[in-house]
Chain A
């Protein structure tokens, strides 16, 4: 099972919106509505930001939203803030592995 494909880096200015893509196949992202997104700050454990494509845990800011189209899922961060600077990983249930993470995206707030 190959890792899901994410851009290595995405950047934006405070207040802007950015979108991170996560591309898989019909055996994972495209085949199930079990895509999750995680935020990881340096030296910290990952934190669940989105589950089941677009659901947000109660403690997560509504500036974070998720969606999916075909084999590609997306995480959008609106009103970008300095504290959003971190690494972000997608994950999906798969028909084989049964879980797989994305390659990770470093978000930089300019």
Chain B
């Protein structure tokens, strides 16, 4: 079965760092780009950035460039989304998703990771 399994819910304080993960299985991990998508409470989907796991090439939305870092480890078939200094406004659900093709839609989604940032 093709699936993406994300790490569990996180509760952090403003200014702390955080890394969440997304592990792929059931397919060739390096053959499909992976994106991260934010959904703030009660709001819509926002594309954050994408990575090509074969060479770790990344492309970020201007809205998130410089605030998050996307990476991938081919050996463990895992993609990561990380923050060096969280803000309360980072409180959201984060999904990873696999692209059908570089320009194409996202056909496999992780279950989501909730991040809560509060003092």
Q: Does chain A have a CB within 8 A of B112?
A: yes
Residue picked from B45, B97, B106, B112, most chain A C-beta under 10 Å: B45
Docked-complex contact B105 and A45, CB < 8 angstroms: no
**8 A-B pairs in the complex with CB atoms less than 8 angstroms apart:** A1-B62, A46-B37, A46-B95, A51-B107, A52-B104, A52-B105, A99-B50, A101-B45
A contacts with B, residue count (CB < 8 A): 27
Whole-angstrom distance between the alpha carbons of A45 and B95 in the complex?
Answer: 8
Q: Which residues of B contact A (CB under 8 A)?
A: 35, 37, 44-47, 50, 59, 61-62, 95, 97, 100, 103-107, 109-112
Specify the chain A residue showing the minimal Cβ separation from B109.
A45
- B45 partner, pick from A47, A50, A89, A97, beta carbons under 8 A: A89
Given A97-B61, A99-B35, A101-B46, decide whether A47 and B105 contact each other with a Cβ distance below 8 A: no
